Structure formats: C-alpha cells, structure tokens
Amino acid sequence: MTKSPNFDFNNDFPSDFTWGVATSSFQIEGAHDVDGKGPSIWDTFCKNKANIKDGSDGTVACDHYHRYREDVDIMASLGVDAYRFSLAWARVQPDGKGAWNEAGFGFYDRLLDALAEKNIRPHATLYHWDLPQGLQDDGGWLNRDTAHRFADYAHEVARRFGNRIEAIATHNEPWCTANLGYGNAQFAPGVVDLKQSIQVSHHLLLSHGLAMRAMREVGGAAQLGIVLNQWTADAASASEADRAMAEFEYARSVQWFMDPIFKGRYPELALRGHGANAPQVRDGDFDIIRQKIDFLGSNYYFRSWCSAANPPVPPPARHGVTDMGWEIFPEGLPELLIKLKAEYPDLPPVYITENGMANPDVVENGRVHDPARIAYVRSHLAALKEAIDAGVDVRGYFLWSLLDNFEWNSGYAKRFGIVHVDYATQQRTLKDSALWYREFIAARDNRIKT
C-alpha cells in the first residue's frame, strides 16, 4: 500500500495510541443558567467587561449544551478515538455543596450516550476553572474546606459515571487556577495576592488527593489522574542570573505540582524562593496528596524563556509565534517528557492532554486555510515521537481544541479550534487542519488494517 509521505512518521506510533480532541465546559457549553445550573466564578468575572479583552462572556459560547450531537458527529467524522471534556461543577451541583442537579447530570449522561454510539472514548476533567460561585462566596480555593467539597463532587461523578468514562482527571492546570486566578487577576476570581496564590496551589493539590481517595472508594473502571500545564525553563544566556531564574521557574511551576504528588514534598528551591509566602501545610497533607495516579496529563504549548536582563532578551522564536504571542518550540516537548521520566521514577503513562495553537482564521468560500496550525501540530507530533523513542510511555494525544471557543480573558478573539465557529450563527466549518488530522488518523487506521 502506498502512503503519503506527509504521514510517514505517524506509522511509527503504537497501533493502540489514542488520538483525540479536547474542550472544556465553560469555553463551549453556554446555557449558563439553563436547567438549574448555578453561576460560576467565570460567569461573575465576565460581568465586569473590563476583565475580558473583547468584553464578551460565556453565556452562549458555542452552544454545545444544545448542539452536542452535532459536535459528536463532527468528532466521529474525524475518526478520533477519544474526546476530552470537562464537567461544569455548577451544572451538576449549583452551589458546589448540597443538592445535586439531576438535569445537569442528565446533560452529561446524554453526552456519554452520544459518544458511546460513535465509539468515542470519554476522558473527563472534573475541574477546568469554573468554580461554583456559591463556594467562592465562602472563600473559594483559599478556604481549605473547598478541597473537601471537591472530594464530595468527585465521589458523586465517579459513582454515576465511573464505569462509563475511560479516564477522569481531577484538575486541569492548577498552576493557572492559582497563579492567574489569584496571582495576577488575569483569570477568575481576579485576585492579585502572591501569598494567596501559593496557598491556593496547596489547597488545589490537597483537593486532588482527597478526590483521588474518594473516587478510589467508589471503585469503577476509569483511570484516575491529573492534568498539569508544563514546560521547560531555558536560560536566555549562560549568566548566573539567567540560570538561577530558569532553575527557580522550573521549580515553582513544574516541580511545585509534581513533587508533592510523586515525592510527598515541595521542591526546596521553590520554598526558599517563596520565603514568607510559602503555604501553610498541615501534618498529613502530603500523605493525602501523594496518591497513586494511573496517568499524568501534560499540556504543552511553549517553553519558559528566562532572561534577567532589563529589558529581557527575547527568545529567538525560530519557528515563529502563535496568535497568543507564544513562541512555537516543539523541541521543548521531548526535552520536558524525558526530564520528567528521569526525575520521577514512578511516572505513570502520560497523555498529551492539550497541544495546539491560536490562529486568526477566517472562512473563505466555505474553507478555512490554516497551514500554520497544520505545521504546528505536525512538528509537535514529530517531537512527541522523539520522546516515545527515548522510552517515555506516552499513550495518547489530544489536540486543543475541537472548536473555536471562549478563550478566557481573550474572549472570542483567539481561535484555537480545528473547527471554525461563526458565533453569530453557530455554523461549524472544518478547517484544513481538521481535514489534515482526519487523514492523519486514517493513515494509522489503514496501517492497522493491512
């Protein structure tokens, strides 16, 4: 059988490798107050139009709540194996505590049915940043009790869906929840307080451990883990200041979340750097956090470029930048994964749970040409293959994102989707990158058949 040279390196991925797409609840669902859903901190955050660059909100988004069948049909047309999505906590428990909302669970029940009909495996995330406002009113993630409420929520989701979902992640990118939500106010709830952000990071980790325990009690077939945004930290020069900056950046970001889970402690370098802002940790907390996980989800978009100069020396950006202004650096992906494997001997199987790029896409004559995104994905898949060849146990790749969507404080101005969404009409248009991904997966399927 003759194969296109465009897909040659795909032939080397394991035949059971998972190819998927990813989304999150607040970014696509809309239906912000439908069927008993409670408000989330992002609903509140968006009410201040100054918080969102285009003054928009998530009240409608991609209207996925009403159009989920169309979106599942699109996934099926692409031939993906799996779909990563998140549950909106306030949809299934409006206040984050107390009564469950059966209508909210009903939506996810229907979504799981639709995925099962198309043989698409669900990978769920419990928390993708949309905390119920009721819990925020009680102190949010700064209140240690929220970690226990999260465990109650995790237990209920596992009880209902644990045998219908392939994998359940506790959190998506707790670094962002802490640092962007509480460190610089880019994200909800919009707090600027370094000490609070570091304490919040501890409570998020505690909630992860408590949720893992709660879900293990239920049993169920789902694999359990967490999704972290991760990067390499590269010094801009050989200067002592740049090297020290890079070492601290890696410690305060990647190791800060990995070490408690795999080593039962925080990295000493980061603790020293945080000084008086270091979190309050109770006896036994690390025993709770250090639960065995079945998988690690790693979200990779860019490296951290560390320059102590004033003004900072910019990265060479040899591959260009995305519409977010992020440096394209696929070389960092294998470097990161190989480093994690060396640092954490108990590292479980890894999934690349997000990877993709924002691009200023437009529909022209019914088509969306996005060659830059195709090049981005191709280069990162080739880089991922390097990590696999180096012995890292990577089991799957989820392209971010299936749909253009509400890109948090950027509003609708940044398009990450491989499917274009006209927000005025909700018309979906497969971009060239979606057609490329479909062919890429089909090349794998054809190899399995031959």
407 is an annotated ligand-binding site residue = yes
Active site residue 268: no
Q: Which of 29, 166, 173, 249 is catalytic?
A: 173
Residue 400 is assigned to a ligand binding site: yes
Is 223 annotated for ligand binding? no
CA distance 389 to 366: 40
Is there a binding annotation on residue 128? Answer: yes
Does 301 appear as a known binding residue? yes
Residue 156: active-site member: no
Which candidate, 360, 373, 359, 369, places its Cα nearest to that of 430?
A: 369
Residues 319 and 240: beta-carbon distance below 8 Å: no
Q: What domains can you pick out in the chain, each with its CATH number?
A: 20-449 (3.20.20.80)
Structure tokens given for 268 = 């000493």
Integer CA distances (angstroms), 216 to 36, 122, 257, 301, 306, in order = 29, 19, 21, 31, 40
**Which is catalytic among the residues 29, 247, 249, 354?**
354
CA distance 85 to 108: 10
Q: Which positions ≥6 away from 232 have C-beta within 8 Å? A: 250, 303, 304, 332, 335, 336, 339
pLDDT (tens, 9 = 90+) of the chain, 450 residues, equals: 223 334 455 558 999 999 999 999 999 999 999 999 999 999 999 999 999 999 999 999 999 999 999 999 999 999 999 999 999 999 999 999 999 999 999 999 999 999 999 999 999 999 999 999 999 999 999 999 999 999 999 999 999 999 999 999 999 999 999 999 999 999 999 999 999 999 999 999 999 999 999 999 999 999 999 999 999 999 999 999 999 999 999 999 999 999 999 999 999 999 999 999 999 999 999 999 999 999 999 999 999 999 999 999 999 989 999 999 999 999 999 999 999 999 999 999 999 999 999 999 999 999 999 999 999 999 999 999 999 999 999 999 999 999 999 999 999 999 999 999 999 999 999 999 999 999 999 998 675 555
Please indicate, yes or no, whether the overall pTM of this predicted structure exceeds 0.85: yes
